[in-house]
Amino acid sequence: MADQTVHDVVIIGSGPAGLTAAIYTARANLNPLVLEGEPSSTSDQPGGQLMLTTEVENFPGFPEGIMGPELMMNFRAQAIRFGAEVQTVKASKVDLSERPFKIWVGDTEAEPTHLAKTVIVSTGAQSIMLGLDREVELIGHGVSTCATCDGFFFRDQEIAVVGGGDSALEEANFLSRFASKVYIVVRRDELRASKIMQDRANANPKIEFLWNTSVVEYVGDKKLESVKVRNNLDESISDLAVTGLFIAIGHKPNTSLFEGQLDMKDNGYLLAQPGRTATNIEGVFASGDVQDDYYRQAITAAGSGCQAALEAERWLEANEEGH
Ligand code: NDP
């Protein structure tokens, strides 16, 4: 049902950026409404990418590390404690052409579901998939983008991780706690991952790198039984007998909702003013990974959520009576 309240702040997305913006705007008595998204098999879900992460060792304040999902539950509880309203729904359409801004949940032909004086966009980014036949069908049946969610199911089995960045190596290290063997399938002869992650993977006896190799086909009817891999040097195809394949080849921003309304970079990330979260539309702020193709860290996302909250608060003070 349409909500006729004109909210001071509606926050779209609930990763570190959105929930930090919620904590700050709630403590500024702006009663933020957070549309946190809906559970899904990808990182486009409440809590964002950290829900698909294992241990987070580099978030300041946790000297022993903390599990990604637990960290996000803490963010959420902190926002709610100060009065943020969190709804487990996904925005289906926005109209930022005039104020109050209009936001729909569900039926995009109906009246707008929410009206807002300011909008903080923190919809994050999500995993890129390989794009092979039957990939979506096989998610949850052997194909995964989430070691934390699915690693447990591969106890004593041979599995593979695709990718050569920090994500792939981190997933492989975590998965080696369950699996009997973890192949890391790398399309070139070089990794992008940081030295410390490379050292850890190299020291892990359960991990084996398959260099210059690409996964080209999923084998198995209802669940994954193996994958076909191509050697990129001699083009030969062979079978790799793994029952699990974890895809960790990078991310794309969740910006389709804002196409034609908010300025974007060539790679689809939102374009904010340098050093700011202000977008091309006054009163609309972009924070976190949705506008960050460079740092992409939980702590930088949280910092940018704080910036967006302060910018929204100041914008309201300057543009609205009674604030
Ligand atoms: P990256 O972009 O760093 O790495 C992506 C990897 O996937 C590259 O090795 C790339 O290969 C490979 N790749 C891309 N497309 C394909 C494809 N179609 N088939 C096969 N391989 C492919 O992404 P990450 O998600 O690993 O990391 C993103 C950022 O997050 C980085 O800055 C990283 O440092 C950070 N991060 C930090 C962590 C930590 O500090 N604990 C943990 C996880 C991530 P190629 O090199 O050939 O392009």
**pLDDT digits over 94-153, tens only?**
999 999 999 999 999 999 999 999 999 999 998 899 999 999 888 878 998 888 778 988
- Measured CA to CA in angstroms, residue 262 lies from 94, 168, 284, 306 at distances of 11, 32, 9, 20
In this predicted model, what pLDDT tens digit does every residue of 86-99 receive, in sequence order?
999 999 999 999 99
Domains of the chain: 6-127+251-319 (3.50.50.60), 135-247 (3.50.50.60)
Cβ density class 219-245: b for 16+ within 10 Å, e for less: eeeeebebbebbeeeeeeeeebebbbb
109: CB partners within 8 A, 6+ apart: none
Collapsed DSSP state (helix, strand, coil) of residue 77? helix
Q: Which atom of ligand 1 is nearest to the CA of 190?
A: 46
How far apart CA 249 and CA 156 sit, in angstroms, is 24
Atom 9 in ligand 1: residue holding the nearest Cα:
164
Which pLDDT score, from 0 to 100, does residue 106 have? Answer: 95
Ligand 1 mean position to 250 CA, how many Å?
A: 5
Helix segments in 176-322, DSSP class H: 195-203, 298-319
Helix segments in the chain, DSSP class H: 16-27, 68-81, 135-138, 147-150, 166-175, 195-203, 298-319
Identify which of 145, 117, 128 has the alpha carbon closest to the alpha carbon of residue 281: 117
Ligand 1 mean position to 271 CA, how many Å?
A: 22
Helix 16-27 and helix 298-319: axis angle, to 10°? 40
How far apart CA 129 and CA 305 sit, in angstroms, is 27
Ligand 1 within 6 A of CB of 200: no
Helix 68-81 and helix 16-27: axis angle, to 10°? 20
Which pLDDT score, from 0 to 100, does residue 321 have? Answer: 56
How far apart CA 34 and CA 36 sit, in angstroms, is 6
- Measured CA to CA in angstroms, residue 88 lies from 8, 47, 125 at distances of 19, 11, 18
Ligand 1 within 6 A of CB of 170: yes
Active site residues: 146, 149-150
Helix 166-175 and helix 195-203: axis angle, to 10°? 30
Which pLDDT score, from 0 to 100, does residue 309 have? Answer: 98
Which residue type is seen at 243? Answer: T
Ligand 1 within 6 A of CB of 188: yes
Ordered per-residue pLDDT tens for the chain, 323 residues: 566 899 999 999 999 999 999 999 999 999 999 999 998 756 567 998 888 777 788 899 999 999 989 999 999 999 999 999 999 999 999 999 999 999 999 999 999 999 999 999 999 998 899 999 999 888 878 998 888 778 988 999 999 999 999 999 999 999 999 999 999 999 999 999 999 999 999 999 999 999 999 999 999 999 999 999 999 999 999 999 999 999 999 889 999 999 999 999 998 999 999 999 999 999 999 999 999 988 888 999 999 999 999 999 999 999 975 44
Ligand 1 within 6 A of CB of 244: no
Please tell me the number of Cα atoms within 13 Å of 155 on its side-chain side: 2
Collapsed DSSP state (helix, strand, coil) of residue 237? strand
Which pLDDT score, from 0 to 100, does residue 45 have? Answer: 79
Ligand 1 within 6 A of CB of 168: yes
Tokens of 53: 């992460």
